[in-house]
Structure 1
Amino acid sequence: MTTDPVRRISLDPAPLAALAPDLVVEVLETATSTNAVAAERARAGAEEGLVVVAEHQTAGRGRLDRSWETPARSSLTFSLLVRPTVPPADWPWLPLLTGYTVAKTLRAEGYAAGVKWPNDVLIGDRKLVGILVERVETPTGPAAVLGVGLNVSLTEDELPVPTATSLALESGAPSGAGPDRTHLLVELLRSLREAYDAWQVGGADATDRLRSSYAAACVTVGREVRVDLPGGQVLTGRASGIDDAGRLVVSGADGESVVGAGDVVHVRPATPDGQQ
């Protein structure tokens, strides 16, 4: 293993190798984007279960092409390649399944994590995990890349935005320290694979269970929200639930509206007058 000047430790390859054959983990010292690498591997014929991890991601991507960079070995940045066989209409559940499973795994590790619709993971009102799920067209059919970026040992000065946080900050760990990244990665990958497999084979019943569990864990539900839509439109109201397609239900002055993740620029808590 190698360390950086603040004693950030590289991932241990042995526990990751033990995840095979269900998961095959490829660790890169540096990558622009693990999602981009995983998509390239998918187009070249990689099978479901490939995981691409970067110790240092230099151009991470989020929704709406937002990008960021964090210090080497300060985060967990990885992408899981899957090849869903469920109907295309069910694919929008993949981001919600990913966010819910990551939050559930972190709660099991002792962190008070919740999901902000559709898939950001928060502690309180501060963002801990960003998730980007992308569809990839390949010669053998469509695939999906589940990309996760978890802030582990970032200090306050290293956060990409002031509204972010890290596991080290939330646990009060010394500067530059944090929980064991290898342990966390193993637990996250096992949980994601298990949740994905159960959803794949469970049909409508599994999706309904996911909807109920997700809604219960979603910190957006029950709050007054401001939804910024493309073109400058704004929707305000109470986030009252999650519908059967994974969309957010917002109850406002004009009745109920539903919004999908692909239709939204931002979802934020609203002040009483509906302004941020």
Structure 2
Amino acid sequence: MTPPAAAEGRWSDLDRPPLNEPALRRALLRPGGLWTSLDVVESTGSTNSDLAARAAAAPGLPEGAVLVAEEQTSGRGRLDRSWTAPPRSGLFLSVLLKPDVPVERWGWLPLLTGVAAATGLARAAGADFALKWPNDLLVKVGGEHRKTGGILAERIGNDGVVVGIGINVTLREDELPVPQAGSLALADAISTDRDPLLRALLRSLEHWYGEWRAANGDPHASRLQETYAAGCSTLGLTVRAELPGGQALTGEAVAIDGDGRLVVTTPDGKDHPIGAGDIVHLRPGG
């Protein structure tokens, strides 16, 4: 019997089965837990845009809403860069958070999400992750670090933040958007089953967010600052910081400060805390 067209489309690539939405809900939605709803859609432009629109239309939408897409056609990264990948080849999701911590500490949310994704996925996928400041997830492919994931946090109203996460899971070499990109499959991960990977990511995010919130957003007391620094491949390298307004500076990345900024020491010995900008890894610091 020929399967319906819709079912054939969902199962057309047997290496990329669809996510099991009912099983994910059973595993992740529990009384007293962070995650309050979880929806999986076949395709959308951007989970961040969709979840932000949902939150704006329903200001009472509780914290912990999760929106996952099997495919994103207009996914966005920092600086409005596009993020696209074949259907069911990765994890493309956004979560709604409403941190009850001082707003000046909300800047830690992208870094917190990076730590949560790296630690959770490292255990579940058996791959070695590194963090590139401020919001990239790297894996080693052929001995070099390649970007396999990214994070985008966007403020929603006065009390909310939508955090988007994109992870390349089964992308093959000929599917990479740029040669510098990577995927868990190319990093020889022991598992590329997206269901347990998504569960591990969200449980790790729940843990780290809970620790950070319990510490009133203090990155030191929650161990977020030291954990991020320990996994950050940017530290110790000579980098070029391309700053807003077309300015740039080159120096050694030496620390992550208490506000989540990257501290770069220029050749004249001055320290420059950088809160926004593109960072290019050049070579190990001398």
- TM-score normalized by the length of structure 2: 0.87
The amino acid of 1:179's aligned partner reads: T
Q: Distance in 1 between matches of 2:15 and 2:225?
A: 41
Q: Per-residue deviation at 1:14? A: 2.9
Alignment of 1:165 with 2:177, yes or no, is no
Equivalence for 2:267? 253
Q: Distance in 1 between matches of 2:248 and 2:212?
A: 33
Q: Per-residue deviation at 1:5? A: 3.5
Check 1:27–1:233 CA distance in 2 against 1; reply closer, same or farther (3 A cut).
Answer: same
Equivalence for 1:267? 279
1:56 equivalent among 48, 71, 74: 71
Q: 5+ residue gaps in structure 2? A: 1-6
Q: Per-residue deviation at 1:40? A: 1.2
Structure 1 runs of 4+ aligned residues shifted over 6 Å read: none
Q: Distance in 1 between matches of 2:177 and 2:217?
A: 39
Equivalence for 1:231? 245
CA contact (8 A) 2:74 2:82 kept: yes
Equivalence for 1:185? 198
2:43 equivalent among 26, 30, 41: 30
Say which SS state the counterpart of residue 13 (structure 2) adopts: coil
Q: Distance in 2 between matches of 1:6 and 1:180?
A: 12
1:131 equivalent among 146, 151, 171: 151
Q: Deviations over 1:218-254 (max 9, x none)?
A: 0101111111112332111110000010000011123
Q: Distance in 1 between matches of 2:180 and 2:284?
A: 21
Q: Distance in 2 between matches of 1:232 and 1:180?
A: 42
- TM-score normalized by the length of structure 1: 0.90
Q: Per-residue deviation at 1:271? A: 4.8
Q: Distance in 1 between matches of 2:44 and 2:12?
A: 17
CA contact (8 A) 2:236 2:285 kept: no
Equivalence for 1:142? 159
Q: 5+ residue gaps in structure 1? A: none
Equivalence for 1:152? 169
Q: Deviations over 1:22-70 (max 9, x none)?
A: 3221101111000011111211232101000000111000000011321
Q: Distance in 1 between matches of 2:50 and 2:256?
A: 32
* Identity between Structure 1 and Structure 2 (%): 47
Q: Distance in 1 between matches of 2:285 and 2:235?
A: 19
CA contact (8 A) 2:149 2:166 kept: yes
